[in-house]
């Protein structure tokens, strides 16, 4: 990686895996200007996951974190901290989905179930609102 200040190559001083999110935290140093800075590396889920909406391949689309985020914001619309809470909850939902090891094809039912469970733990009214627009399959 190049230095954010001068554009020269950097060296990694320290690196840690963040267990909760699956991201990698790195402390970097630039030999040219002496700058120290931190980077956070995260998987590009849009390139890794395909959301499967039915049993056919015609109903598949790349995972979009923004779609999930907007549905969570809508469910939290009654709260003053809806935007901040939705961002954190979306991170929690995607981390939970990563831990499930679903592979490249992620059924939309899994996303709905994990989202509903996460919202239920956080705010019951938000979970009810979310379930009104995203019915939970009874399978």
Question: Looking at the structure, do residues 65 and 85 belong to the same domain, yes or no?
Answer: yes
**pLDDT tens-digit profile of 51-88?**
998 776 678 999 999 999 999 999 999 999 999 999 99
Tally of CA atoms within 13 A in the half-sphere of 47 that contains its CB: 3
Say which residues have a Cβ less than 8 Å from residue 132's Cβ, sequence separation at least 6: none
Task: Collect all residues with Cβ–Cβ distance below 8 Å to 3 and sequence separation of at least 6.
Answer: 9, 10, 28, 30, 32, 33, 35, 37
Residue 55 placed within a domain: yes
Report if residue 1 sits inside a domain: no
User: How many structural domains is the chain composed of?
Assistant: 2
> Residues 99, 129: one domain?
yes
Sign of CA dihedral 79, 83, 89, 93: positive
pLDDT higher than 80, residue 137: no
29 and 53 co-located in one domain: no
63 in the same domain as 119? yes
Count other Cβ atoms within 10 Å, centred on residue 4.
12
Task: Check whether residue 106 and residue 70 sit in a common domain.
Answer: yes
pLDDT on residue 102? 75
Helix H segments across 5-107? 45-48, 65-75, 82-99
* Domain, as residue range, for 75: 45-133
Same domain, 33 and 60: no
Q: Is residue 3 part of a domain?
A: no
Are residues 20 and 87 part of one domain?
no
Q: Are 75 and 127 a contacting pair, CB within 8 Å?
A: yes
> Is the pTM above the cut of 0.85?
no
Q: Are residues 108 and 56 in the same domain?
A: yes
pLDDT at 53: 87
Residues 63 and 125 in one domain: yes
Question: Is the pLDDT higher at 24 or at 43?
Answer: 24
On whether both 110 and 49 belong to a single domain, the answer is: yes
* CA nearest to 51, candidates 67, 36, 35: 67
Kindly tell me if the per-residue pLDDT of 115 is higher than 70.
Answer: yes
Q: What is the 3-state secondary structure (H, E, C) of 93-117?
A: HHHHHHHCCCCCEEEHHHHHHHHHH
4 domain-assigned: no
Residues 50 and 15 in one domain: no
Report whether 55 contacts 42 (CB < 8 A): no
State whether 30 and 51 are in the same domain: no
């Amino acid at each position: 990686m190049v230095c954010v200040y001068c554009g020269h190559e950097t060296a990694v001083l320290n690196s840690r895996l963040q267990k909760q999110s699956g991201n990698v935290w790195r402390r970097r140093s630039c030999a040219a200007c002496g700058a120290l800075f931190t980077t956070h590396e995260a998987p590009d889920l849009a390139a890794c996951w395909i959301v499967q909406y039915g049993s056919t391949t015609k109903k598949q689309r790349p995972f979009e974190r923004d779609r999930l985020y907007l549905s969570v914001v809508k469910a939290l619309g009654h709260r003053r901290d809806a935007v901040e809470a939705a961002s954190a909850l979306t991170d929690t939902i995607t981390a939970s989905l990563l831990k499930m090891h679903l592979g490249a094809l992620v059924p939309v039912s899994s996303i709905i179930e994990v989202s509903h469970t996460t919202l239920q733990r956080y705010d019951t009214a938000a979970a009810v609102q979310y379930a009104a627009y995203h019915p939970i399959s009874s399978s």
